[in-house]
C-alpha cells in the first residue's frame, strides 16, 4: 500500500534518483544505544542533498522532493546497520512549483558535506568527542558513503513501485530463518562479499538480540518526507490547487475501494476479477459473510461435489437470508 500511495498520491511526475547514505562501524553503536539519533541521521542526509542542489542553481529558495526510509538492518542476519534510503527528485522546485532539472550531479560533494554535517551534529549533541570527531574527519576513505546509481524516469511506474517497496522492506523474510537440530537459528543471507558465506548460525540469545534490535522506538516514524514532499508543503499545495473541484477525490482514494482485488493481483500476480476458465471479467454479485454458509461451500469444494452449491434463485422467502437462499 505504501508503494502505491507514494506513486499515486505523493511523487511528482519527474525523474527520481535512489540515494543510499551509510556510515562506518565506528558510529553504529551510537545509533543502537540512542535511537533518537536516527532522526538526526535522516535530517542530515536531506540537508546534504538540499544544500548541494541549491548550490548547483545558486539559489536558496528552491527545494528538492525527498522521501526517506530509515533502515537499521544490513544483509547479514539482521545485523544492526543504520543507513538511509531516499527517493530524490532529479532537480528542484521553485516557490511557484516549477521543476528545474539538475544540470549535473556530484555525489562525492554530497558525501563530503554529509560527512562533515553528521560528525559536527553528533559532536554538538554530545555523542561524539571533539578528539574522535577530528580523527574521523581525517580518515581516508571516510567510511561514510553516498551512492546514487539508480535513476528512475516518470514513465517507469512499475520500477518506481518496486523501488518504493525495497525502501520499506522488512529486516528478514520468514522463509530465510529456520531452527537447526542443534537448537541454533540458521539464517540464509546474500553471499558475504569477503567470504562468500550465505548461511549464518546464531545462538538463540544472539538471534533474539539481533532481531529485537530492529524494533523501532514507540511512535517513531521510519519513513519521512522533506522539501517538496513534506506533509506541510503537500497540504498547502492541495489547498491552493484550483484545478480540482472541491469534492474531487484523489485517484488513490478511489482505488482503495477495491483494495482487496488490487492487492491480491499485486501479490500473487493473478487477477481475481478474471474467470480462470474463459478469461472474461467477473462482477461481484454478493458478499457471503455467514460462517455456516461459507463452511457449507468449502465442504462442497473439498468433497469434489457435482453441482455447484450456489445457483441463481428468486428473492429469499420471508425470514430467509440472501446467503441461505442461494444454497441448495
Residue 248 included in any domain: no
Q: Are 111 and 68 members of one domain?
A: yes
One domain, residues 59 and 140: yes
Share of the chain above pLDDT 70, in %: 81
Residues 193 and 227 occupy one common structural domain: no
The whole-number pLDDT of residue 288 equals 86
Q: Which residue has the higher pLDDT, 119 or 306?
A: 119
One domain for residues 193 and 80: no
Coil, helix or strand at residue 309: coil
SS3 content of the chain, % helix, strand, coil (to 5): 40, 20, 40
Residues 45 and 153 in one domain: yes
Supply the pTM of this predicted model.
0.73
Could you tell me if 88 and 144 lie in one domain? yes
Q: Do the domain assignments include residue 61?
A: yes
Q: What is the DSSP string of 219-283?
A: T--SEEEEETTSHHHHHHHHHH-TTS-TT---HHHHHGGGHHHHHHHHHHS--TTB-TTT-PBP-
38 domain residue, yes or no: yes
Per-residue pLDDT tens over the stretch 63-101: 999 999 999 988 776 688 999 999 999 999 999 999 999
Give me the pLDDT at residue 188, please: 87
In a domain, 209, yes or no: no
- Answer whether the bond into residue 35 is a cis peptide, omega within 30°: no
Residues 99-148 pLDDT 10s: 999 999 999 999 999 999 999 999 999 999 999 999 999 998 888 999 99
Of the candidates 264, 13, 20, the one whose C-alpha atom is nearest the C-alpha of residue 156 is 13
Number of domains comprising the chain:
3
Between CA 90 and CA 105 the distance in angstroms is 9
What value does the mean pLDDT of the chain take?
Answer: 83
What mean pLDDT do residues 208-228 have? 89
284 vs 249, more confident: 284
Do 192 and 56 share a structural domain? Answer: no
- Find the domain containing 98 and state its range: 2-170+214-240
C-alpha gyration radius of the chain: 26
Amino acid at each position: 500500500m505504501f508503494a502505491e500511495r507514494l506513486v499515486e498520491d505523493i511523487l511528482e511526475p519527474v525523474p527520481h534518483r535512489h540515494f543510499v547514505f551509510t556510515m562506518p562501524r565506528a558510529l553504529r553503536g551510537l545509533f543502537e544505544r540512542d535511537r533518537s539519533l536516527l532522526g538526526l541521521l535522516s535530517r542530515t542526509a536531506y540537508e546534504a542533498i538540499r544544500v548541494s542542489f541549491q548550490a548547483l542553481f545558486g539559489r536558496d529558495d528552491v527545494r528538492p522532493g525527498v522521501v526517506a526510509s530509515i533502515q537499521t538492518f544490513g544483509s547479514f542476519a539482521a545485523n544492526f546497520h543504520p543507513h538511509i534510503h531516499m527517493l530524490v527528485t532529479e532537480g528542484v522546485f521553485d516557490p511557484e512549483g516549477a521543476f528545474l532539472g539538475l544540470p549535473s550531479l556530484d555525489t562525492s560533494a554530497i558525501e563530503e558535506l554529509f560527512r562533515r554535517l553528521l560528525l559536527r551534529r553528533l559532536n554538538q549533541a554530545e555523542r561524539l568527542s571533539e578528539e574522535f570527531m577530528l580523527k574521523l574527519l581525517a580518515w581516508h576513505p571516510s567510511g561514510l558513503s553516498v551512492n546514487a546509481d539508480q535513476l528512475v524516469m516518470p514513465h517507469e511506474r512499475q520500477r518506481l513501485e518496486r523501488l518504493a517497496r525495497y525502501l520499506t522492506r522488512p529486516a528478514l523474510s520468514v522463509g530465510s530463518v529456520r531452527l537447526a537440530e542443534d537448537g541454533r537459528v540458521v539464517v540464509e543471507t546474500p553471499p558475504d562479499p569477503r567470504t562468500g558465506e550465505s548461511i549464518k548460525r546464531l545462538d538463540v540469545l544472539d538471534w533474539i538480540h539481533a532481531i529485537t534490535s530492529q524494533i523501532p522506538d514507540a511512535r517513531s516514524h521510519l519513513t519521512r518526507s522533506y522539501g517538496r514532499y513534506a506533509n506541510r508543503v503537500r497540504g498547502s499545495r492541495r489547498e491552493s490547487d484550483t484545478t480540482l473541484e472541491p469534492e474531487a477525490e484523489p485517484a488513490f482514494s478511489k482505488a482503495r475501494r477495491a483494495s482487496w482485488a488490487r492487492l491480491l493481483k499485486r501479490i500473487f500476480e493473478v487477477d481475481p476479477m478474471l474467470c480462470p476458465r474463459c478469461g472474461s471479467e467477473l462482477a461481484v454479485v454478493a458478499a457471503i459473510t455467514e460462517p455456516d454458509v461459507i463452511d457449507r461451500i468449502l465442504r462442497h469444494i473439498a468433497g469434489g461435489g457435482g453441482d455447484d452449491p450456489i445457483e441463481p434463485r428468486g428473492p429469499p422467502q420471508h425470514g430467509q437470508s440472501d446467503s441461505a437462499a442461494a444454497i441448495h
